[in-house]
Amino acid sequence: MPEGIILGSDHAGFDLKEKVKKALDRLGVPYEDVGAQSTESVDYSDYAHRVAEAVEKGRYARGIVLCGTGLGVSMAANRHPGVRAAVAYDEETARLSREHNDANVLALGGRSLDHGLAERILEVWLKTPFAGGRHARRVAKIEPGTTDPR
C-alpha cells in the first residue's frame, strides 16, 4: 500500500484542496490528487468515489475528500465498505474521528471552513492515532453484519 494520502474534491472544494496539498507538502506527506483540477462545476460524488475506492481496495490507507460542506463527499465515500469518512469542523472533531472512530477518510468543506482552521484540522487528523480498546469493538460493528470481535 502506498504511503501517503489520496485526495479529491469537486469544484467547491478545489481551492481548499490546493491549500491542503501545500500543507501536505510542508508536512512531508506524499499524496495523489484525483481531481477536480479547477473550479469548473463537476459532481462531488465522482471524486468522493475515486478516493473511497482507493481506500476500500487498500491502495491507500487514508484519503481526504472536499466539497462545499464536506457532507456530500462524506455520504458518497461512506457507501464503500471499510471506509469511515468523517466530516471534521474543528480540531476536536478531527481528533475524535481518529481516536474513537478510526476515520480513514477526512471530509472538509471548502465553503464552510476557514482555510486556516482546515489546515489545523488536517494536522490533528494526520497526527492522531486510533485508541483501539473499547473503540475497536464499536468500529468493528459499523459494517453491516459484523458483531463484537471479542
Supply the pTM of this predicted model: 0.95
Catalytic residues: 67, 100
Going by C-alpha positions, the residue among 37, 42, 3 that lies closest to residue 17 is 37
Going by C-alpha positions, the residue among 136, 21, 5 that lies closest to residue 62 is 5
Structural domain of 12: 5-140
Residue 147 inside a domain? The answer is no
Q: Specify the pLDDT at position 143.
A: 84
Residue 148 inside a domain? The answer is no
Calpha distance 113→129 (Å, rounded): 23
Residue 69 inside a domain? The answer is yes
Q: Residue 149: pLDDT above 70?
A: no
Residue 149 inside a domain? The answer is no
Cβ–Cβ < 8 Å for 51, 67: no
- Total tally of structural domains belonging to the chain: 1
Q: What is the pLDDT of residues 10-43, one digit of tens each?
A: 999 999 999 999 999 999 999 999 999 999 999 9
CATH number for the domain that contains residue 90 = 3.40.1400.10
Residue 100 inside a domain? The answer is yes
Residue 83 inside a domain? The answer is yes
Residue 146 inside a domain? The answer is no
